[in-house]
Amino acid sequence: MPTALITGATAGIGAAFARRLAADGFSLVLVARDEKRLTSVAEELRLRYGVSSEVLAADLVTDEGLEAVERRLREGVDLLVNNAGFGLQGRFLDIPVEEEVRMLKLHCEAVLRLTLAALPGMRERDRGAVINVASVAAFLPGGSYSASKAWVVNFSESTAMEMAGSRVRVMALCPGFVHTEFHERASIDKSGIPGFLWLSADNVVREAMRDLARGVLVSVPDLRYKAVVGVSRLLPANVIALVSRRLGRR
């Protein structure tokens, strides 16, 4: 039975990955900070899908948390989903630097270290995959959140190229606005975001798994957001930044 390790597994896209992979017959390693919530999710998955789920409570902005997950990855997994992340409310100059550094540690250092922990075993077995959850924001100017997600995309593409010639795949997943706890946790006002731009986490995961099977390097779920990314490559950055702000990104 293949094994998948998912960070940020208790809600949103991470929980949707857990449901999809459990339905596909994966044994799961669920990672998040809240052990009680992790245990509840693991039990729900066991009852619904009959799969076993390891619970690994870890705070990935700490070295101790990262080291614990690195150790588990070195034991061997078939799929790593680097999904944990958060956003910050306000403009760059108004946000405490400590919060900015925490976000970069989670979005960049954790993705780097966990990917590096998983890939050697995958390459040795000549099978496996890593999905790094980024965002459509990676293609839009929007503060350090967008910058960190742009790093995830570039890192994933570069690492995928290093795995060329093997059966190990690395993919960046770039969803748009998704119905999750993300905005509530960051106290971000969603009222300025048009309803037609919202996606469901389950649909995002379904398209992600399809793209992974096809060997896509950067998955952008939904035609609407594929169009957004395409247009963003054509318009001046200041225009894109204005539209992004008006949609409630900042």
What the block records as the tokens of 148 is: 């960190």
Pair type for strands 168-173 and 218-219 = parallel
What radius of gyration do the chain's Cα atoms show?
17
**Residue 145 is a catalytic residue:** yes
CA torsion through residues 69, 217, 133, 102, sign: positive
For 82, the 3-state DSSP assignment is strand
Strand order in the sheet with 27-32: 53-57, 27-32, 3-7, 79-82, 128-133, 168-173, 218-219
What the block records as the tokens of 44 is: 């729900």
Please list the residues that pair with 28 across neighbouring strands. 4, 53
The C-alpha atoms of residue 53 and residue 78 are separated, in whole angstroms, by 14
Q: Tell me the C-alpha to C-alpha distance, in Å, between residue 181 and each of 46, 88, 186, 246.
A: 23, 13, 9, 21
Which conformational region is residue 34 in: left (phi greater than 0), alpha (psi within -120 to 50 degrees), or beta?
A: beta
Of these residues, 139, 145, 151, 177, which one is catalytic? 145
The C-alpha atoms of residue 66 and residue 204 are separated, in whole angstroms, by 26
Catalytic residues: 145
